[in-house]
Amino acid sequence: MSWTIIQQSIPVFVQAFWLTLKLSFYGIIGAIIVGLIASFLRYFKVPVLRQISAAYTEISRNTPLLIQLFFIYYAFPEIGIKISATAAGISGLIFLGGSYMAEAIYGGLQGVAKIQVESGLAIGLSRGQLARYVVFPQGLTLSVPAIAANVIFLIKETSIFTVIAIPELTNTALDQIGLYYHTDESLFVLVIAYAIILIPLSLALTWLERRARRGSFGN
Amino acid sequence: MAHSGINILFAGQNFTRLLGGLWVSAKISIVSLVIGILLGLLLGALRTLKNPVLRTILRLYLEFFRIVPTVVLLFLFYYILPKNFNVNLSAQIVAMLVFALWVAAEMSDIVRGALISVPRHQKEAGMAIGLNGPQLYRYVLLPQAVGLMIPATINLMTRVIKTTSLLLLISVMDVVNIGQQIIEANRQVYPNGAFWVYGLIFILYFLLCYPLSAWARHLERRQNNNA
């Protein structure tokens, strides 16, 4: 392992590092929005849309991201939908992450103690008010740990973007190996780069989890 | 269009080849799950012991496999074993090794979680009737913890099956790799082959994973109702 080689490859990896963060960010924000919508459809038992969201959740959770990406990037153009690799990657991450976020959020909403709902009904809240003032504030807090776990999971999944040639971290490392045969150095920088993103994040999320638990009611 | 695209799936040996590729993925999943779960049971039990050195080492092992994405783990073993340790394994064996170690890491956390949630008085009662350490695990703690581990273990299985889709990256002839070959070979005759081949692979993975995850959810719900 040579430090000079590592130093020389740093600029390329820094670029890939920001790209990984950017793609993860859009993917995660999108996934949370999809997750909120899907879990609300289920929670409010909206007819038809609820079944569609349940089917979506099952399909998305039980198939690999790699195949989802191949489908979006290689198969969709054949039926007339052409998008860039980056757009395909982000859409794939949203498609996958949306269902995981939906499960996390719905799990939180279900975790709200029954007595809270009953008390709300007893003081005459409507279903909308009950959701707005009682269930969501508590339920969303309860779902924070699961959402946090999904955030880390989704960032790691961006490594699969390499199969559609998005120059994120993993792709860049493979590129370096292919170009210069600097296998050890490239893999070393790659692992370090993921550690730089994920270790502080997982510590921050543990802290957030503890905060959220303090916010929960009655226990 | 002279050919309907779906025929690409049934032309020549294509369908049997795809199923053959699926079998390679299944074989790798099964071998790594069996080895990984057994190793994970052992590591999980060790993590409940009070030895701080052992606990730190096992914790670091778990965190390493959690933080590094699976694709990267595959590359690490695929490139570094032959180059730096002169160990030349076939890509399939490398895949089994990586997946087994990864499953063992995840499993150790599941096992530890289940073991520490067995009520304390069970352990104390076991000690009171004079069971030694291994007997305590064998007759008291593990049998009660197994039920708690099963849903999470089934979910881990579906994760492993889904992750086998990455094997093409280290050139294992899995279902995705064979699918790509079929698409390339038939580019002239079936220009929209990708839609059908990837569509079929999509469905195949779904058929493998959906029953497992539905079963896990069923077991979880039953446990919650009993609790």
Model confidence pLDDT, tens digit, residues A46-94: 889 999 999 999 999 999 999 999 989 988 887 788 889 999 999 999 9
- The confidence score (pLDDT) of residue B1 equals 46
Query: Is A82 exposed, middle or buried, given 0-12, 13-18 or 19+ CB atoms closer than 10 A?
Result: exposed
Helix count (H) and strand count (E) of chain B? 9, 0
Query: Is B129 exposed, middle or buried, given 0-12, 13-18 or 19+ CB atoms closer than 10 A?
Result: exposed
Q: What percent of chain A clears pLDDT 70, i.e. is strictly above it? A: 98
Query: Is-contact A138 A217, C-beta < 8 A?
Result: yes
Domains and CATH numbers, chain A: 3-215 (1.10.3720.10)
Cβ atoms within 10 Å, residue A200: 10
- The confidence score (pLDDT) of residue B206 equals 94
Query: Is-contact B22 B175, C-beta < 8 A?
Result: yes
Q: Which residues of chain B have pLDDT under 70?
A: 1-4, 227
Taking a contact as any Cβ pair under 8 Å apart, which residues of chain A between 165 and 184 contact chain B? 170, 173-174, 177, 183-184
Rounded Cα gap, residues B193 and B202, in angstroms: 14
Considering only the beta carbons, identify the residue of B67, B79, B205 that sits closest to A63. Answer: B205
B215/chain A closest Cα distance in angstroms: 13
pLDDT of A122 > 50? The answer is yes
Parse chain B into domains and list their residue ranges.
5-226
b (16+ CB within 10 A) / e for A27-61: bbebbbebbbbbbbbbbeeeeeebeebeebbebbb
Per-residue pLDDT tens digits for A94-114:
999 999 999 999 999 988 888
pLDDT of A218 > 60? The answer is no
Helical axes B91-116 vs B142-163, angle rounded to 10°: 150
**Residues belonging to chain B with any Cβ–Cβ distance to chain A shorter than 8 Å:** 5, 67-72, 75-76, 79-80, 83-84, 158, 162-166, 168-169, 176, 183, 191-192, 194-195, 198-199, 201-202, 205-206, 209-210, 213
Per-residue pLDDT tens digits for B22-46:
898 899 999 999 999 999 999 998 9
- The confidence score (pLDDT) of residue A209 equals 79
Q: What is B5-226's CATH number? A: 1.10.3720.10
pLDDT of A129 > 80? The answer is yes
